[in-house]
Amino acid sequence: MTKQKEELEHRLKLRNIKLSDYDDIRDIMVSIYKDQGGAWTRQELKNQIKAFPEGQICIEDNGKVVAAALSLVVDYSKFGDNHTYDQITGFGKFDTHDNEGDTLYGTDVFVHKEYRGMRLGRRLYDARKELCENLNLRSIIAGGRIPGYSKYYDQMTPRKYIDLVKSKEIFDPVLSFQLANEFHVRKVITKYLPEDTDSRAYATLLEWINIYYEKDEKLIGNKKSIVRLGLVQWKMRRFNNVDDLMQQVEFFVDTVSGYKSDFCLLPEFFNAPLLAEFNDMDASEAIRNLADYTDEIVTRMRDLALSYNVNIIAGSMPEYDGKKLRNVSYLCRRDGTIDKQYKLHITPDEQSYWGLQGGNGIKVFDTDAGKIGILICYDVEFPELGRILAEQEMDILFVPFWTDTKNAFLRVNTCAKARAVENECYVAITGSVGNLPRVENMDIQYSQAAIYSPSDFSFPHDATVAQASENAETTIVADVDLDLLTKQRKAGSVRNLEQRRLDLYSVQLKKKK
């Protein structure tokens, strides 16, 4: 390799600033800030490195510093939004740095003029974000210059100028870059840098929120990031009594618990084999008799949840109060508490054969492994319900279903995939397989259990976390990462929840009168 070629070859390295870098940093600052005070002195840079060495970052090329970013940690409540640059930096001494603070404050970012266009500023911003996350700080805040405003100050207010930059009607060399790096403008401040004539002494107060910030870290009992799901693809078979049924349930609960699952999901009407006991009755009478077993099964499910340390979504079962017959899914938490979700939409077949009626409410359930929602079978085909749950910060949607034919299954399956994408959540579905001779309206089954995710770079390429074989009794055990949902909602390629046009439409659950 020739000497000339070696000189042209870039060798970029991101690292922390050393005092020996001062001459390179001074040269860059003088060329950029000659009208705004020039460069830090060597002593000031020494003080900044001593106060917070981790926050002083640079990029070198072949040993020469070509870009840098400086920052400190502050207790932001001591300064508030109306601070000046000199106040928050201690006039450049960084004696305002507070190791117990909650905010990473960005003081400077600068790039050598010959390296403009190489996106080095973006690398420095990304490094700052990583530092903020690793230090578990609430956010990054910075005062931003708006040098392009000098061309428009006699035509519009700073706020109007900022709005036009946001909508890309105007390009500002500083603000446009900061907005592109996920910062938002909290407010306009005045006299932040009085010598900044290009910005007319105005500045933007910018903030980047650390979505992973945890205010109170605990040694145990923290919110889980990785959640393990266990899905049971259940085979319909004859059971002589509830004891036989629960023996099979316990087998599967034991199985998924053995893999340390946080949840065990059973299908809709998993207890339907007990209908065989009433096969001499009319279908509507038989299902009401089956409902007599529901309380006992729920109690035994709760005991299994406790003894096997797993949250159980008990598929669904009929519930009859003497006036109304409903289809209900019980959540039996491993702390011993119980909740339930009624099926809201009743299929024409369920109505005509059994006289089922829909419930009147829907909510998100808090668990020790995230916020979950439950939609029983047909309910997942109504996108409004998933959106209502997503607005309550649901992480995982569980869908116990029962379908007889493949086309019926495909309706549930396709809609489940859509709910995962549009609501930026995980969706777990499972049904039953096999057949039940001599049980009217429950004779054949079709299922392929699965776990679906949003469709973006952080998730599986086909948005399928796991999938069972069709029509075979089996289980799925797979992990889902809740932190990826947080990342998706704030920084995904598309952000379905964040970018809804709430000025045009909304989805609301009416209160039942």
Q: For the chain, which residues make up each domain, given as ranges? A: 11-207, 224-489
Residue-wise DSSP of 63-80: TEEEEEEEEEEE-GGGT-
Higher pLDDT among residues 512 and 358, named by residue: 358
The per-residue pLDDT for 39 is 86
The per-residue pLDDT for 53 is 95
From the options 3.40.630.30, 1.10.3720.10, 3.40.50.2300, 3.90.1070.10, give the CATH code of 11-207. Answer: 3.40.630.30
Angle of the 383-390 helix axis to the 406-423 helix axis, nearest 10: 30
CA separation for the pair 321, 318 (Å, rounded):
10
**Percent of the chain whose pLDDT exceeds 70:** 95
The three-state (H, E, C) secondary structure of 195-226, written as one string: CCCCCCCEEEEEEEECCCCCCCCCCCCCCCCE
Give me the residues paired with residue 339 across strands: 331
317-320 and 338-342: which strand pairing? unpaired
pLDDT at 311 over 90: yes
DSSP letter for 469, please: P
The per-residue pLDDT for 1 is 47
**Percent of the chain whose pLDDT exceeds 90:** 71
pLDDT at 433 over 80: yes
- What does the pLDDT average to over 421-433? 97
Sign of the C-alpha dihedral computed for residues 494, 497, 503 and 508 taken in this order: positive
pLDDT at 219 over 60: no
Name the active-site residue from 60, 268, 381, 424.
268
Q: Which two tokens stand for residue 505?
A: 């439409």
Please check whether residue 449 is in contact with residue 419, taking contact to mean a CB–CB distance below 8 angstroms.
Answer: no
Higher pLDDT among residues 251 and 275, named by residue: 251
**Lowest model confidence (mean pLDDT) among 30-39, 136-145, 372-381:** 30-39
474-481 and 226-236: which strand pairing? antiparallel
Name the active-site residue from 132, 264, 332, 377.
377
Looking at this protein, which amino acid is placed at residue 399? V
- What does the pLDDT average to over 190-194? 81
CA separation for the pair 401, 107 (Å, rounded):
55
- What does the pLDDT average to over 469-488? 94
**Lowest model confidence (mean pLDDT) among 37-41, 127-131, 156-160:** 37-41
Mean pLDDT over each residue of the chain, to the nearest integer: 91
Give the burial string for 36-71 (b: 16+ CB within 10 Å, else e): beebbeeebbebbbebbeebbbbbbbeeebbbbbbb
**Lowest model confidence (mean pLDDT) among 109-123, 418-432, 463-477:** 109-123
pLDDT at 214 over 90: no
The per-residue pLDDT for 448 is 96
pLDDT at 106 over 70: yes
pLDDT at 35 over 70: no
Name the active-site residue from 132, 332, 340, 343.
343
The per-residue pLDDT for 7 is 54
Looking at this protein, which amino acid is placed at residue 6? E
Cα 428 to Cα 108, 293, 381, 420, 452: the distances in Å are: 47, 26, 14, 9, 6
Q: Residue 416's CB: how many other CB atoms inside 10 A?
A: 22
464-467: strand order across its sheet: 365-367, 370-374, 396-400, 426-430, 450-452, 464-467
Q: Which two tokens stand for residue 329?
A: 């899914």
CA separation for the pair 389, 380 (Å, rounded):
11
**Lowest model confidence (mean pLDDT) among 169-178, 196-205, 383-392, 428-437:** 196-205
The per-residue pLDDT for 513 is 56
pLDDT at 221 over 70: no
Q: Residue 1's CB: how many other CB atoms inside 10 A?
A: 6
CA angle 134, 67, 17 (to 5 degrees): 55
User: Distance between alpha carbon 64 and the CA centroid of its chain, in Å?
Assistant: 40
DSSP letter for 444, please: B
Query: Which of the four pLDDT bands, split at 50, 70 and 90, describes residue 32?
Result: confident
The per-residue pLDDT for 220 is 57
311-313 and 317-320: which strand pairing? unpaired
CA separation for the pair 143, 88 (Å, rounded):
10
Catalytic: 343?
Answer: yes
At the topology level, CATH places domain 224-489 in Nitrilase/N-carbamoyl-D-aminoacid amidohydrolase (3.60.110)
- What does the pLDDT average to over 411-436? 96
- What does the pLDDT average to over 495-500? 90
Predicted confidence (pLDDT) per residue in 138-176, tens digit: 999 999 888 889 899 889 998 999 999 999 999 998 899
DSSP letter for 308, please: H
